[in-house]
Amino acid sequence: MRIGICGLGTVGSGLFNLLESNRAEIERKVGRDIILSQVGCRRDHPDCDLSSTNVTRDIFEVANNPDVDVLVELIGGTDVAKDLVMQAISNGKHIVTANKALIALHGDEVFSAAEQAGVSVHYEAAVAGGIPIVKSIREGLAGNTIEWVAGIINGTTNFILTEMSREGSNRSFDDVLSEAQALGYAEADPTFDVEGIDAAHKLTILAAIAFGVPLNFSAMYTEGISAISADDIKFADELGYCIKHLGIARQSGDGLELRVHPTLVEKDQMLAQVNGVMNAVMVGSDAAGSTMYYGAGAGAGPTASSVMADIIDIARGGKLPDLGFVSLAPTGILAIEKIRCSYYLRLGVVDQAGVMANVSTILSRHRVSIEALIQKDARRGDAQIVILTDEVLESEMLDAISEIESNEAVTSKVSMIRVSNL
């Protein structure tokens, strides 16, 4: 089987070297030769010896090369990547991609072109790097009805939150982000990581394969970690929680919840133990129960491992429905205001008699019941109140917050973080 690789960055170089080092073992697994026909890249990679490789600077040459059966798209981005993949499909080539944005935003179009051309599109590396989560849900758990999927699916944000929560860590946000970039984790534009867009791309794909719904990126509620402060991490810790950036897809009675946001997770939960750049995805299903998948969510070797698994699938000749369902069921997506969960609130108030009573009166008027409440740091006349609520409808919570913020004794915006209810 003849492959062509487009893109020789972190993942492309990882794949090139994995093919070099494991070729004999891989060929023993598939019973066929795997030939690297061509590499298309803007520049050579210092970690790759390309002396006996056919290299072109024009990636479309790979899409048009009759000696390529499988095009491996590792250039990232959506515009050129989509043109490249569509061109390769129209030339009858199978596709392997690590591009979550491409699948989340244009997957329907790409899959339907592939169907018509009689080729397949594989994207294991698009979600959670080296963790074989697509295959685990689509194949390993195929006999189950999936109830929920919740994951730490962005290593950069997990790294930043982990560093912020380390006692005595005085590292700046920029310093921590630079380290994630140096490790090959961060996106080309790190706002994709920090603002939750990268996680939303991945959750779009996970939700489609878990629930058999169309790819639904635009319906996703997406919130990043830029508003999380060191105080939030410290107070959450005192209450018995850590703060994780989670992607959650959950079938509730009223519709499918699709949301990416910082979340308070109880410290003894397994997801709370996932630190640094590591990723983990938990799946709740009716027969298998809860299962969890943990590993490196990015980086050269781990992501190349998933790309190679897809190449091996093609070499073995199996054909699965792209999202694992022969027919997709368009399902109502629940607006974020309609979810029910518990909330962490932090607000600054004037330190005077009656303020706490006012805040709790407003909460009770909106049917928000308080589970825990602490007052912190009375200084310079101001105090911070931290509240953990019981479960309530989000729209009620938001109404209560806007009423609290308009109270003259309240000196700050309310910081609101959802609490995990899985």
Active site residues: 202
CB of 306 to ligand HSE, least distance (A): 11
Query: What is the distance between the alpha carbons of residues 49 and 301, in angstroms, rounded to a whole number?
Result: 17
* Separation between Cα atoms, residue 2 and residue 289, nearest integer Å: 41
| Shortest separation between residue 41's beta carbon and ligand HSE, angstroms | 20
Q: Which residues bind ligand HSE (CB under 6 A)?
A: 129, 154-156, 185-187, 193, 198, 297-298
**CB of 232 closer than 8 Å to CB of 155:** no
Please, what is the minimum distance in Å from the beta carbon of residue 297 to ligand HSE?
A: 5
- In 354-414 the beta strands, taken as DSSP E runs, fall at 370-379, 382-389, 392-393
Query: Can you say how many angstroms the Cα of residue 91 is from the centroid of all Cα atoms in its chain?
Result: 32
Q: Which token pair is 385? A: 């109140």
CB of 158 closer than 8 Å to CB of 275: yes
Least distance between ligand HSE and beta carbon 186 (Å): 5
DSSP symbol at 14: H
Nearest to ligand HSE of 198, 322 (CB atom):
198
> Of the two residues 156 and 165, which places its CB atom closer to ligand HSE in the complex?
156
Minimum distance from residue 111 beta carbon to ligand HSE (Å): 21
- Our CB check for ligand HSE shows the closer of 292 and 378 to be 292
CA dihedral (127, 208, 71, 106) positive or negative? negative
Q: Which is nearer to ligand HSE, 154 or 251 (CB)?
A: 154
Residues 136 and 216: their CA atoms lie apart, in Å, by: 21
DSSP 113-126: HHHHHT--EE-GGG
For residue 113, give Cα distances in angstroms to 3, 88, 168, 209, 318.
20, 10, 53, 19, 19
CB closer to ligand HSE out of 251 and 279: 279
Please, which residue, 156 or 162, has the CB nearer to ligand HSE? 156
CB of 206 to ligand HSE, least distance (A): 13
Closer of 147 and 198 to ligand HSE (Cβ): 198
Q: With CA atoms as reference, report the closest residue to 244 among 175, 178, 170, 150.
A: 150
- List the 2-6 sheet strands across, edge first: 55-56, 35-40, 2-6, 70-73, 94-97, 121-122
Pairwise CA distance, residues 43 & 301, whole Å: 20
Can you give the three-state secondary structure of 312-342, one letter per residue?
HHHHHCCCCCCCCCCCCCCCCECCHHHCEEE
Contact 290/284 with Cβ under 8 angstroms? yes
- Report, in Å, the least distance between residue 117 CB and ligand HSE: 27
- Residue 166 DSSP class: S
Q: How far is the CB of 298 from ligand HSE (least distance, A)?
A: 3
Measured from the CB atom, is 121 or 315 closer to ligand HSE? 121
Give per-residue burial for 2-38: e unless 16+ CB within 10 Å, then b.
bbbbbbbbbbbbbbbbbbeebeeebeeebeeebebbb
